[in-house]
Amino acid sequence: MNRRQFIYGTALILSTPVSSHAIWPFSRKKAEVQDSDNIRGSIFKGDAPDKQGKWAHEAFLYKKLDNNKVLCGICPHRCLLSPGDRSVCRSKANIDGILYSLSYGNPCTVNVDPIEKKPLFHFKPQTKAFSVAAAGCNFRCLNCQNWEISQAKPGEVRHIELFPEDVVKAALKSGSESIACTYSEPVSFIEYMLDISRIAKEKGLSNLWISNGYINKEPLLELCKYIEGANVNIKSFSDDIYKKLNGGRLEPVLNTFKTMNEKGIHFEMTNLVVPGYTDDGEMVKRMCGWILANLGPGYPLHFLRFFPQYKLDRLAPTPLSTLENFREIAMKEGIHYAYVGNVPNHEGMNTFCHNCNKLLIKRKGYYIPEYNLSENRCKFCNTVIPGVWGKNIKAI
Amino acid sequence: MFNILKRKNESPVLLVVIATGISSVATQLLTIRELLAQFQGNEFVIALILFSWLVQGGIGTFFSQLYIKRGSPSAKFLCFLSLLVASLPALQILLIRELRDVLFIHGSSVGFYHTFAFVFFTTAPYALLIGFVLPYSLFVLRAFRPDYPGTYVYMVDNLGDIAGGAFFSFFLVYFFSPFQSVFISNIFILGATFLLLLNSGVGHIKAIAGVCVALTFLVSGIFLEKESLLPRKGSLAYYKESKYGRIAVHKDKEQFTLVADGVPVFSNQNTSNAEEDIHYPLSQVSATKNILIISAEGGIMEEVEKYHPKSIDYIELDPEVSGALFRFGLLKNIPGLNVINQDGRSYLAHADKIYDAIIINLPEPETYQINRFYTDGFFYLARKRLSPGGVLSFSMEGYDSYLAEPQRQKISSVHKTISRHFTNVLLLPGEKIYFLASQNPVNADIPGLLDKKKIKTDYISNFFYGNLTEERIRNLNELIDRSAPVNTDNYPQLMHIMFSQWFAKFSTSPLVFILLLSTVSIIYLFCIKKEEFVLFSTGCMEMGTEVLVIFAFQIFFGYIYIKIGLIITVFLAGLFPGAWAGNKIANQHNKFSRTSLVISDGILILLTILLILIFFKGGDKIPLSVFLIYGFLVSMTCGFQFPTALKLMGDSNPSVTRLFSADLIGAAAGTLLISVAIIPYFGIIWAAFALIGLKLISMIVMRLSKA
């Protein structure tokens, strides 16, 4: 066989229908494991405002370095900013060697929400949470529900002037029992949140932190002095998926849970079940194993249904049975309180006593038609139910 | 003309040219469908695909001129190129399907620049090749006969284009899957190449082997058809290529999801959306006898049934969609339900029934086709078909906690438009923003209204007051900009707002692209000769008027596939007789070529003025024949200009390639300018004036050059 014959022969073989199946390079399995993408955000070079502006407030916890550079210490990104640079979260900027938070007192959205919407199922049920958010986030989640504010700079959004004292006044006026820093990522406006929390605590309001948990230990410890409840996302139990879908890392989030556990803060965890990414039963088992080993069985875990959102809009919603299955897995593994979320009136929204298995709280949307807790104990077996329970809760 | 096909050496080459035309147009249409199933199906992306294709064709043509300077043309090399032409379409479609998940994160949509890069590079090999082959075929013919007229190749290519367009639009799309269509539309080129191989002295065995290699590529595609469409999760329960696009139903455990052009539209487990779609409007009306639903949401019929209406007319453009919805339980067949497969706007224009509620479930107005349901003209029609207390309802993309600025502008424009026809318009926030419009007052307390009607719901009864607080409803309604522009059929304001929203979502701006394109365009326009400029403007005119005519037709008559297919076909069909006439006149009256170009430019200007008058005076009274005659006349005049310009430039090899390039690049510019730059920002009339302006410049250039 000469060279030419060899080339012809090879071409013929390679192009047969049968071989095309065998050699086709982009088979499904290969695409599934291929996840080298990391969508981590980057610093915005030279994007800082020239002047501090009305809503600039010197940042909490940063280090001044040579040549007017600064190192932000709030989150694991640890942004090293030269003068004129803006942080990954878009909310902080180095102006002449000083790190400023740019979203102090200028929230872009304020609402009064049912606490169950956060979701917080074990924290003062049926109360209202005065919810505040400023622009910015240290993640780049492809499925962000609030991308309009989380992926925007403070100057790019409409905002309301509401300094910490005003927030607390407005919360009290609205009849809310708590103030929730939520929607975008409160870590990016921690200075504002801390000041609100200090005043709110003095006035008898609870402080809630609804977050991705991507924060360093030192600022978290400061925050723990004021917050009473939190809902922190555990977006997946895979560092690769964190990099690919969220632009973050898993380990710092796990550390956040450990710290809050040590500090005795009530928190609930939410896990969004994204088809093709986080809908892996084995991963859920590993996640539950870690929770049990490090935090114990008492913290509620919510499995939320995914809907196509923002940039991740070409995936189907999560099948209900996947959520039900995960709830079962979690409870079998030993988690006492596992819930199904984003599914109207699902049985998995109800709370059952982990000791006697009787129905403690029946939920219909944001209503509670049945409530069987006496203060923080099961009415049937007197077991203490973890959480922060309100007084005089009536079934509606 | 047809004698040329009888010449021994020439006829196999010309057959290859015709077959290349068939392959290229069919492949272009298939590629557009494929890319739209992988990326955002907005007007910008559609224009980008056509733009890339045409520009690459122009570049390929230019390369052929460079290539020919280095060596003499050979029929054997043309055979090799033709076999590549036949082999590449299957590979291109596979690459488009498979590379998307390799290059981008699975399940995510991508922004403008990523889309552009993907489109440009995946279509480049084939589009460049097609651009290269056409002039190269002429060089091969000139190797046999040096004075072979370039116009003949242009005409024969047009024949192939017409055949390919009609073959795909009226036959392949109805009966065959993409890879089957690729196979069938490329069989001709394999046959023609085989003849050319034999004619070029290549042995039978080698010729058969060559054809077999290409054939195996084509066959391989058919085998990989289903596999390349399988979802990452679950299974493919149903798949159908309808004439409107790709319909699939994915099954993941017990959940069925309807996926249209790669986008999950809805699944059978979304009760909240179904409740909102139906109960928000129906809770408002006292009598719910006749209901009109334009396009559906999974699970809505169960909710409609709670009102016991006498009749429900459900309009779905694509029968494949409605068929799949019923087959997989996404829609329930309830008493009184009447399924009508027609364009919703066209139905409303001709219906005489009066409805108590019109409920619309359409996607965002990202294309001109969908924009027609958000215009002044549409709301006027809807109002006419509603009973005095009737309600019109539709939704647009919503938000969780903050209404972003482009979205606010969009909502405001729709609000302003609908408020011209309805006394009361209420907006309800949420995952979707609902518009409820009626001549009667509209009540925002939906759960209260449902209680009165004793209708039970899962989502609304239990979540509404928590999610849609009075404050949230008030905030949204207060955010509406009352000075927003009205969205009309002729001036589709929403389109450019949608573009802004798309760019904002991906934090990008088209500025770099526009600057780059402008720079390249200016350089190009300074480098070309006046005859090339005429053809550049002609390409622009041909594609620009085609976009305008299709756009106008859809406004007046709705999206009627077969008629739009006919319009596209006549826009191709006129080129051939035009070129034939142009060639004849240019040969017989050589000295009048320049004048002919000026006169034909004048005719194009007059035709465009006529188009403006037709739009103003005729509206929906214009018969289809006017659109067809108009398209034919425009393309005939454009076709006429090619041989005339070629005669003026001398019909040499470089002249032919330069004119081919100018025509293609002009067509690319026309597509992009008219559909995404001029119509959305300045409206349809100014788009027509822009084309007139361009042709006036072309006329002046030719006149001055004579002086």
B503 inside 8 A of chain A by CB: no
Of B101, B212, B223, the CB nearest to A31: B101
pLDDT digits (tens, 9 = 90+) for B216-253: 999 999 999 989 999 988 999 999 999 899 999 999 99
* B5/A13 Cα distance (integer angstroms): 36
pLDDT, tens digit (0-9, with 9 covering 90-100), for A96-110: 999 999 999 999 999
Residues of A in contact with B224 (CB under 8 A): 20-21, 24
Note whether B466 contacts A151, CB cutoff 8 Å. Answer: no
List the structure tokens of A2. 């000469």
* Residue numbers of A between 354 and 373 with CB closer than 8 Å to B: 364-367
So what's the pLDDT on residue B60? 94
Q: What local confidence, expressed as pLDDT, does residue A20 receive?
A: 43
> Could you tell me what percent of chain B has a pLDDT over 90?
73
Contact A131 B250 (CB under 8 A): no
> How large is the average pLDDT for residues A373-392?
93
A5 close contact with B: CB closer than 8 A: no
Q: Which of B219, B250, B405 sits opposite A316 (nearest CB)?
A: B250
Would you say B239 and B247 are in contact if contact means Cβ atoms under 8 Å apart?
Answer: yes
Lowest mean pLDDT among A27-31, A115-119, A296-300, B569-573: A27-31
Q: Tell me if the bond preceding A119 is cis, omega within 30° of 0.
A: yes
Task: Classify B245 as helix, strand or coil.
Answer: strand
Contact flag B462-A345 (C-beta cutoff 8 Å): yes
User: In sequence order, which ranges of B200-235 are alpha helices (DSSP H)?
Assistant: 204-224
Rg of chain B, C-alpha, whole Å: 27
CA dist A239 and B74 (Å) reads 58
Residues 6+ apart with CB under 8 A from A127: A115, A176, A177, A178, A390
**pLDDT for res A2:** 47
**How would residue B621 be classed by pLDDT, with cut points 50, 70 and 90?**
confident
Average pLDDT over residues A146-166: 96
Mean pLDDT within B164-183:
94
Q: Which two tokens stand for residue B50?
A: 């056509």
Using an 8 Å Cβ cutoff, are A205 and A172 in contact? yes
pLDDT higher than threshold 70 for residue B547: yes
Architecture label for domain B510-707? Up-down Bundle (1.20)
* B700 part of contact set with chain A, CB < 8 Å: no
DSSP letters of B652-696?
A: -HHHHHHHHHHHHHHHHHHHHIIIIIIHHHHHHHHHHHHHHHHHH
Determine contact: A317 vs chain B, CB below 8 A: yes
**Which pLDDT tens digit goes with each residue over B304-360?**
999 999 999 999 999 999 999 999 999 999 999 999 999 999 999 999 999 999 999
What span, in angstroms and rounded, lies between the C-alpha atoms of A378 and A336? 14
Q: What is the SS3 string spanning B314-358?
A: EECCCHHHHHHHHHCCCCCCCCCEEEECCCHHHHHHHCCCCEEEE
Please tell me if residue A94 touches chain B, with a CB cutoff of 8 Å.
no
What is residue B480's predicted lDDT score, i.e. its pLDDT?
Answer: 96
A296 C-beta neighbours (distance < 10 Å), count: 13
Give B250's strand partners. Answer: B236, B257
Higher pLDDT, B689 or B703: B689
Interface of B with A in 464-493 (CB under 8 A): 465-467, 469, 471-472
Q: Looking at the domain that runs over A109-347, which CATH code has it been given?
A: 3.20.20.70
Q: Is the pLDDT of residue A215 over 70?
A: yes
User: What token pair was written down for A205?
Assistant: 């309001």
Least CB-CB distance to A314: which of B264, B272, B405?
Answer: B264
What are the chain B neighbours of A316 within 8 Å (beta carbons)?
Answer: 231, 233-234, 250, 252, 255, 257, 259, 264, 267
A contact residues 195-234, partner B, Cβ 8 Å cutoff: none
Q: Give the Cα separation of B602 and B695 in Å (integer).
A: 8
Specify whether the CB–CB gap between B593 and B644 falls below 8 A: yes
Q: What is the pLDDT, as a whole number, of residue A127?
A: 95
B214, two tokens:
């290409």
Where do we find the tokens 């310009």?
B645
Burial class (CB in 10 A: 0-12, 13-18, 19+), B263: middle
Q: Chain B within 8 Å of A34 (Cβ-Cβ)?
A: yes
Nearest CA in chain B to A4: B206
* Residues forming beta bridges with residue A181, ordered by sequence position: A132, A209
Taken in order B271, B274, B279, B280, is the CA torsion positive or negative? positive
How many inter-chain contacts (A to B, CB under 8 Å) are there? Answer: 172
Contact A245 B465 (CB under 8 A): no
* pLDDT surpassing 90 at residue A14: no
Give, in order, the Cα–Cα distances in Å from A228 to each of A115, A179, B19, B438: 13, 10, 74, 47
Q: Report yes or no: A11 at the B interface, CB cutoff 8 Å.
A: yes
For residue B417, which amino acid is it? T
For residue A249, give the H/E element and its range: none
The mean pLDDT value for A376-385 works out to: 96
Taking CB atoms and an 8 Å limit, are B253 and A319 in contact across chains? yes
Q: Looking at residue B311, what DSSP letter applies?
A: E
CB neighbourhood size of B363 (10 A): 15
Q: State chain A's mean pLDDT as an integer.
A: 91
Query: Of A301-305, B146-150, B479-483, B575-579, which range is least confident?
Result: B146-150
ipTM comes to 0.90
Chain B nearest-CA residue for A325: B253
How much is the pLDDT for B624?
Answer: 86
User: What amino acid is encoded at A331 in this protein?
Assistant: M
Burial class of residue B237 in the structure, from the number of CB atoms within 10 Å of its CB (0-12 exposed, 13-18 middle, 19+ buried):
middle
- Please tell me the distance from the alpha carbon of residue B212 to that of residue A14, in angstroms, as a whole number: 12
What dotted CATH number matches B270-488? 3.40.50.150
Residue B467 has pLDDT above 70, yes or no: yes
* Angle CA B584–B587–B590, to nearest 5: 125
pLDDT for B617: 79
Closest CA to B460 of B437, B426, B425, B428: B428
Domain boundaries, chain B: 1-229, 235-264, 270-488, 510-707
- Residue type, position A161, single letter: E
Question: What CATH number has the domain spanning B1-229?
Answer: 1.20.1250
Alpha helices in B385-529 (DSSP H): 405-419, 446-452, 460-467, 470-479, 493-505, 511-527
- Binary contact (A21, B506; C-beta < 8 A): no
Q: How far apart are CA A74 and CA A188, in angstroms?
A: 8
Q: How far is A134 from chain B (nearest CA, A)?
A: 10
Q: How confident is the model at residue A29 (pLDDT cuts 50, 70, 90)?
A: very low
3-state SS, residue B393: strand
Question: Does A27 have pLDDT greater than 60?
Answer: no
- The closest of B132, B16, B128 to B64, measured between CA atoms, is B132
Neighbours of A345 (CB within 10 A): 16
Cβ distance B435 to B374 under 8 Å?
Answer: no
Using the beta-carbon criterion (under 8 Å), do B267 and A317 form an inter-chain contact?
A: yes
Q: How far is CA B426 from the centre of its chain?
A: 33
**Which of B99, B253, B402 comes nearest A322 by C-beta?**
B253
> Does B1-229 match B510-707 in CATH topology?
yes
Touching check for B201 and chain A: CB below 8 Å? Answer: no
A108 interfaces chain B, CB cutoff of 8 Å: yes
Q: Are B557 and B687 in contact (CB under 8 A)?
A: no
What is the pLDDT, as a whole number, of residue B3? 52
Cβ of residue A131 closer than 8 Å to a chain B Cβ? yes
Sole residue written with tokens 């001029």: B678
The region of weakest confidence among A34-38, B396-400, B503-507, B702-706 is A34-38
Encoded tokens for A83: 């003068």
Q: Is B620 on the interface with A (CB under 8 A)?
A: no
What pLDDT is stored for residue B707 in this prediction? 46
Mean residue pLDDT of chain B comes to 92
B80 interfaces chain A, CB cutoff of 8 Å: no
B334 vs A: CB within 8 A: no
Residue B642 near residue B579, CB atoms below 8 Å: yes
B71 three-class SS: coil
Which member of B105, B234, B466 has the closest CB to residue A114?
A: B466
Place of tokens 């066959």: B219
Nearest-by-CA chain B residue for A27: B98
Return d(Cα B446, Cα B470) in angstroms, integer: 12
Distance (Å) from the alpha carbon of A262 to chain B's nearest alpha carbon? 32
Q: Which of residues 104-123 of B touch A (CB under 8 A)?
A: 105-110
User: What percent of chain B stands above pLDDT 70?
Assistant: 98
Residue B441 has pLDDT above 90, yes or no: yes
Contact A312/B108, CB-based, under 8 Å? Answer: yes
Q: Do B107 and A310 lie within an 8 Å CB cutoff?
A: no
Average pLDDT estimate for B535-560: 88
- Mark yes or no for CB contact B233/A344 under 8 Å: no
Residue of chain B nearest A275, judged by CA positions: B233
In this structure, are residues B524 and B539 in contact, taking their beta carbons and an 8 Å threshold? no
Q: Which residues of B touch A118 (CB under 8 A)?
A: none
Residue A5 — pLDDT band, cuts 50, 70, 90?
very low
Q: How far is A313 from chain B (nearest CA, A)?
A: 6
Select from A340, A332, A345, A351 the least CA-distant residue to A271: A340
Q: What percent of chain A has pLDDT over 70?
A: 91
C-alpha atoms less than 13 angstroms from C-alpha of B414 in its C-beta half-sphere:
29
Q: What is the pLDDT of residue B568?
A: 87
B403 contacts A16? CB cut-off 8 A:
no
In terms of Cα–Cα distance, which of B146, B163, B132 is closest to B15? B163
Residue A190 φ then ψ, to 5°: -60, -35
- CA–CA dist B678, B496 (Å, integer): 10
Question: Nearest CA to CA, how far is B291 from chain A (Å)?
Answer: 27
**Min Cα separation A390/chain B (Å):** 19
Average pLDDT over residues A111-131: 96
Give dist(CA B209, CA A4) in Å, integer: 13
Q: Which residues of B touch A39 (CB under 8 A)?
A: 105
pLDDT digits (tens, 9 = 90+) for B644-698: 998 888 878 888 889 989 999 999 999 999 988 898 888 888 999 999 999 999 9
* Predicted local distance difference test score (pLDDT) of residue B34: 92
Lowest-confidence range among A2-16, A264-278, B337-351, B663-677? A2-16
Pairwise CB contact (< 8 Å): B401 & A158: no
Within B243-319, strands assigned E span 245-252, 255-260, 263-267, 290-294, 311-315
Amino acid letter, residue A232: V
Q: B361: closest CA among B244, B248, B498, B258?
A: B258
CB crowding B382-391: b at 16 or more within 10 Å, else e: bbebbbeebb
The two most distant CA atoms of chain A are separated, in Å, by 92
The verdict on A175 touching B (C-beta cutoff 8 Å) is no
Residue B498 main-chain phi, psi, to 5 deg? -60, -40
Question: Please, which pLDDT band fits residue A236 given cuts at 50, 70 and 90?
Answer: very high
- Write down the number of H helices and E strands in chain B: 27, 11
Whole-number Å distance between alpha carbons of A141 and A147: 8
**Residue spans per domain, chain A:** 109-347, 350-396
What's the Rg (C-alpha) of chain A?
Answer: 24
B264/A12 CB distance under 8 A: no
Those residues whose C-beta lies under 8 Å from the C-beta of residue B1, and which sit 6 or more positions away, are B152, B155, B580
Q: Do B220 and A20 touch (CB under 8 A)?
A: yes
Q: Which residues of A touch B407 (CB under 8 A)?
A: 148
Range B444-466 average pLDDT: 96
Both tokens assigned to B568:
């596209």
Look up the pTM and report it.
0.91
Nearest to B686 by CA among B515, B536, B497, B488: B488
Given this model, what pLDDT does residue B7 score?
Answer: 58
Q: Looking at the complex, does the CB of residue A381 fall below 8 Å from at least one CB of chain B?
A: no
**pLDDT greater than 70 at residue B163:** yes
Contact (Cβ atoms closer than 8 angstroms) between residue B277 and residue B359: yes
Q: Do B232 and A28 touch (CB under 8 A)?
A: yes
